């Protein structure tokens, strides 16, 4: 049984791919009533769901120039960046189609659950826009079942000539969740469909109708001749693809010419970005496989570039015809599948820039032949190199901050917390009074840590760290530890300098991003609602309530807030996420709390081991 190697440790059975491909095409031709077809072969270890495509203009572009919209976070809660909290974008029409036809389809859900319970691998597949539905179905499955059930079999998504579906956050989030490897996209070298959404509807409006007519397998085409609009369509899509690729390449290359920024006002660029593993079919029985999204974006443009202008009409025809040749091409490819015919492009930064094949290394020769089959020029090779270099740099950034993980400043602050407790005052209050040398040392350590964490946040904001970073357990735990230990000191510093008088309260205006981000990491990792891990802000809540209840109105108007704070404090202390030093006799909290009417009735008294010394 042959298999296709699509990654370091990942191989896919070629029979499965071929079966999925034929089912994906078959889904179109079934009666248009069916929103998916299911293939269960008795005894096999997998089931295949395949989805049909749709071919009206509104099935592609709904509203915006590029037809994109905000992702539905109820269905896809992970599709956002965590710290920055930017939501992914997705093609509106595809998402709508998925919501209407699939996610509410009880039959579909029942079949998925049945397959899952039978421990079968679920394969979602689709050709053309059907592929986009398969992608959304796969993510939906991952969110709904896979995440909560570690024993489930991992799903697989196979698409053939599928349009781009989501933007860079979409791609970033899937890589962070480590879901990207479940997606394998097959793209014929010249197939125009995966490139269409790189162009705004305005630039292809005239040609799009007849082209869709041609692409629709259900329509009764008069002949197999490509429509006359093919030429303009190809040129317009490619011109836009060229803009997107050049713009992205400038960024990959670390462009320093600010003209690029100025240009941004005059160019509307497509927001879509690839994700997952792409298998490019060169058209001569070779496959080129890569999964760096930046490199894939470049390849989408460069692989269907023209050798010369004369070639244009011919390529334009092929760009449509190849959309229908996946079945045959893959069959041909899989008859002879060896290292020369399926080339995995990794370590892109080391790609040969020169097509010179007088080298002795057979690896380089193979890669060179593959690049040549995709028609890649020096310029294209440079772009792929830059994509590899960027990825390498991100990893380098991570390595350099990993070195700062075992930080002595954290240790100092942990000891500080303990020694404060021994002296009968929590570190919040000790730091706020700021009387001894230790408080001062703690302040210096706090600032040193702030420097490290601010650097991390800055890198996250620029997407200068690997996509996986915000999902790494080690860093989430360290972030939480840091937040619990040091944020009280930041709050103390804030109220020590009475910064709340110039601005608003700490939580509203003063809270640094390094704490906001780390809190969101934890909430996301534990699937908790946003804002539920605010225990490190406890002291700020106390200070704000202290100010409120000391005003003329007194306690009464804030009674609910006080009660809520007490309940939260109890929960946090019992959960072990808030240090018990808040209950020390002279803490800001206790001094204030004892002054409130009837403290003995409060739930604080129920905290295990808590005894009030004197009211």
Partner 1 sequence: MSRIHLFSGGLELANLVVSSGVLYHSWAAVRDLYSEINQNEQQSLSVRYKVSQQPNSTTIAFFTWPACSKDYIIQGGGGEDLVSSSTLKESFPLFEFLCTKTNPQFSINKAALELFASIRDSLPSLKSQIDSKPVIITGNSLGGSVASLFTLWLLEKINLSSTKTRPLCITFGSPLVGDDGLQEATSKYPTWNSCFLHVVSDQDPIPRVLISPHNPIDSIYKPFGTFLLHSELGCACFEDSQSILDLLTATYLEGPENQNPNQVLEFYEALVQHLNHKVICKDTTQLVKRNTKSFEAGIITQLEAIGLVRPQQQQRNNGIDNLITRTERQEKKLVILKRQVFDPSKKLNDIKINMAYLEWYKKHFKDKGIGYYDSYKNSGNLSDLNVVRYKKILTCYWEEMVDEAEKKPQKEGASFRTRWLFAGTNYRRMCEPLDIAEYYNKGLKDYINQGRPKHYKQLEQWLKEIEKPASNPSQLKKQNVASSLTEDSCFWAHVEEARISCELLSSRESSIGEKESSKHNLVEFENYVLSLMKNYAVSPEIFLPRSSFMLWWKEYEEIIRKGIMGAAYYSPLTDLMKSRSYQNYATGGLEIP
Q: Is 338 in the site for partner 1 (CB under 8 A)?
A: no
If we measure between CA atoms, which residue out of 588, 454, 424 comes closest to residue 517? 454
Are 87 and 71 spatial neighbours (Cβ–Cβ below 8 Å)?
Answer: yes
Name the residue nearer to partner 1 (CB basis): 132 or 322: 322
Q: Does position 205 bind partner 1 by CB under 8 A?
A: no
- The residues, ordered by sequence, that sit 6+ positions from 83 with a Cβ below 8 Å of its Cβ are 457, 460, 461, 470, 513, 516, 517, 520, 521
- Selecting among 28, 172, 323, 524, the annotated active-site residue is 323
Instruction: Give the nearest distance from C-beta 361 to partner 1 in angstroms.
Output: 11
Q: Is residue 433 near partner 1 by the rule CB under 8 A?
A: no
- Cβ(294)–Cβ(200) below 8 Å: no
Binding-site size, partner 1 (CB under 8 A): 65
Residue 62 annotated to the active site: no
Instruction: Give whichever of 10 and 247 is closer to partner 1, judged by the CB atom.
Output: 247
- The DSSP result for 482-515, as a single string, is HHHHHHHHHHHHHHHTTGGGTS--IIIII--HHH
**Residue 68 backbone phi and psi in degrees, to 5:** -95, 160
* CA–CA gap between residue 236 and residue 238 (Å, rounded): 5
Among 150, 498, 556, 600, binds partner 1 (CB under 8 A): 498
Instruction: Give the span between the Cα atoms of 60 and 197, in whole angstroms.
Output: 8
Cβ atoms of residues 538 and 569 within 8 Å = yes
Beta bridge partners of 48: 39, 123
Contacts of 185 (CB under 8 A, 6+ apart): 131, 159, 162, 194, 274, 276, 277, 278, 279
How far is 302 from 354, CA to CA, in rounded Å?
Answer: 16
Give exposure, 129-148, as e/b (b: 16+ Cβ within 10 Å).
bbbbbbbbbbbbbbbbebee
Identify which of residues 37 and 253 has a Cβ nearer to partner 1 in the complex: 253
Residue of 349, 407, 464, 561 that binds partner 1 (CB under 8 A): 349
Nearer to partner 1 by C-beta: 104 or 509?
509
| Subset of residues 442 to 461 that bind partner 1, contact rule: CB under 8 A | 443-444, 447-448, 450-451, 454
**Active-site residue, 191 included:** yes
Shortest Cβ distance from residue 167 to partner 1 (Å)?
19
Q: Closest approach of Cβ 61 to partner 1, in Å? A: 18
Min CB(237)–partner 1 separation in Å: 9
Q: Smaller CB distance to partner 1: residue 73 or 264? A: 264
Q: Work out which of 377, 532, 550, 574 binds partner 1, going by CB under 8 A.
A: 377
| Active-site residue identified among 50, 168, 185, 191 | 191
232 binds partner 1, rule: CB under 8 A: no
| Burial class of 57 by CB neighbour count within 10 A (0 to 12, 13 to 18, 19+) | middle
**Contact status: 114 vs partner 1 (CB under 8 A):** no
Among 240, 277, 480, 500, binds partner 1 (CB under 8 A): 240
Q: Which of 128, 171, 270, 304 is catalytic?
A: 128
Counting Cβ atoms within 10 Å, is residue 112 exposed (0-12), middle (13-18) or buried (19+)? buried
What is the contact mask toward partner 1 in residues 246 to 285, using x (rule: CB under 8 A)?
Answer: xx-xx-xxxxxxxxxxxxxxxx------------------
Q: Which is nearer to partner 1, 166 or 510 (CB)?
A: 510
* 65 touching partner 1, by CB under 8 A: no
Annotation says 524 is catalytic: no
The whole-angstrom separation of Cα 270 and Cα 106 is 35
- 3: β partners: 13
Residue from 238, 279, 297, 456 in contact with partner 1 (CB under 8 A): 238
Catalytic residues: 128, 191, 323
Q: Where do contacts with partner 1 occur on this chain (CB under 8 A)?
A: 235, 238-240, 242-243, 246-247, 249-250, 252-267, 305-309, 349, 352-356, 358-359, 375, 377-380, 382-383, 385-386, 389, 392-393, 396, 400, 434, 440, 443-444, 447-448, 450-451, 454, 497-498, 501
């Amino acid at each position: 049984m042959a298999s296709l190697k699509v990654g370091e440790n990942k191989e896919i059975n070629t029979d499965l791919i071929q079966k999925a491909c034929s089912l994906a095409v078959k889904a179109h031709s079934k009666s248009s009533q069916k929103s998916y077809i299911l293939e269960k072969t008795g005894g096999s270890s997998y089931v295949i769901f395949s989805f049909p495509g749709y071919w009206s203009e509104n099935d592609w572009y709904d509203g915006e120039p590029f037809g994109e919209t905000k992702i539905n976070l109820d269905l896809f809660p992970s599709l956002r960046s965590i710290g920055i909290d930017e939501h992914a974008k997705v093609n509106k029409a595809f998402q709508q189609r998925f919501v209407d036809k699939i996610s509410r389809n009880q039959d579909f859900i029942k079949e998925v659950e049945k397959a899952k319970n039978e421990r079968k691998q679920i394969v979602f597949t689709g050709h053309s826009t059907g592929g986009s539905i398969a992608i959304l179905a796969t993510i939906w499955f991952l969110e709904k079942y896979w995440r909560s059930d570690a024993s489930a079999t991992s799903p697989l998504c196979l698409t053939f000539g599928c349009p781009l579906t989501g933007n860079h956050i979409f791609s970033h989030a899937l890589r962070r969740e480590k879901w990207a490897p479940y997606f394998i996209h097959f793209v014929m070298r010249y197939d125009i469909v995966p490139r269409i959404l790189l162009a705004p509807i305005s630039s292809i409006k005239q040609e799009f109708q007849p082209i869709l007519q041609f692409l629709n397998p259900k329509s009764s085409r008069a002949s197999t001749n490509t429509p006359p609009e093919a030429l303009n369509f190809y040129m317009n899509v490619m011109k836009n693809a060229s803009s997107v690729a050049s713009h992205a390449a400038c960024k990959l290359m670390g462009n320093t010419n600010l003209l690029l920024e100025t240009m941004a006002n005059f160019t509307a660029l497509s927001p879509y970005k690839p994700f997952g593993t792409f298998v490019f079919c060169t058209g001569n029985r070779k496959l080129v496989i890569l999964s760096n999204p930046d490199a894939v974006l470049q390849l989408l443009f460069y692989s269907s570039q023209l050798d010369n202008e004369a070639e244009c009409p011919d390529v334009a025809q092929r760009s449509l015809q190849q959309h229908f040749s996946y079945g045959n091409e893959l069959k041909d490819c899989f008859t002879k599948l060896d290292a020369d015919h399926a080339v995995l492009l990794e370590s892109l930064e080391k790609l040969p820039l020169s097509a010179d094949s007088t080298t002795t290394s057979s690896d380089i020769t193979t890669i060179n032949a593959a690049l040549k089959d995709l028609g890649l020029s020096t310029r294209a090779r440079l772009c792929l190199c830059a994509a590899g270099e960027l990825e390498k740099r991100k990893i380098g950034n991570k390595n350099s901050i990993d070195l700062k993980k075992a930080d002595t400043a954290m240790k100092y602050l942990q000891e500080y917390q303990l020694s404060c407790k021994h002296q009968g005052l929590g570190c919040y209050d000790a730091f706020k009074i700021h009387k001894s040398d230790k408080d001062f040392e703690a302040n210096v350590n706090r600032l040193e840590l702030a420097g490290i964490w601010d650097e991390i946040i800055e890198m996250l904001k620029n997407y200068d760290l690997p996509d996986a970073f915000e999902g790494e357990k080690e860093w989430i735990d360290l972030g939480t530890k840091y937040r619990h230990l040091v944020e009280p000191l930041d709050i103390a510093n804030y109220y020590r300098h009475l910064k709340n008088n110039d601005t608003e309260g700490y939580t509203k205006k003063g809270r640094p991003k390094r704490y906001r981000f780390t809190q969101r990491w934890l909430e996301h990792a534990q699937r908790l609602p946003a804002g539920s891990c605010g225990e490190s802000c406890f002291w700020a809540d106390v200070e704000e309530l202290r100010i409120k209840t000391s005003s003329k109105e007194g306690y009464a108007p804030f009674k609910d807030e006080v009660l809520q704070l007490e309940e939260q404090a109890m929960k946090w202390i019992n959960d072990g996420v808030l240090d018990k030093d808040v209950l020390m006799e002279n803490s800001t909290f206790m001094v204030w709390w004892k002054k409130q009417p009837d403290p003995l009735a409060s739930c604080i008294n129920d905290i295990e081991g808590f005894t009030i010394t004197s009211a």
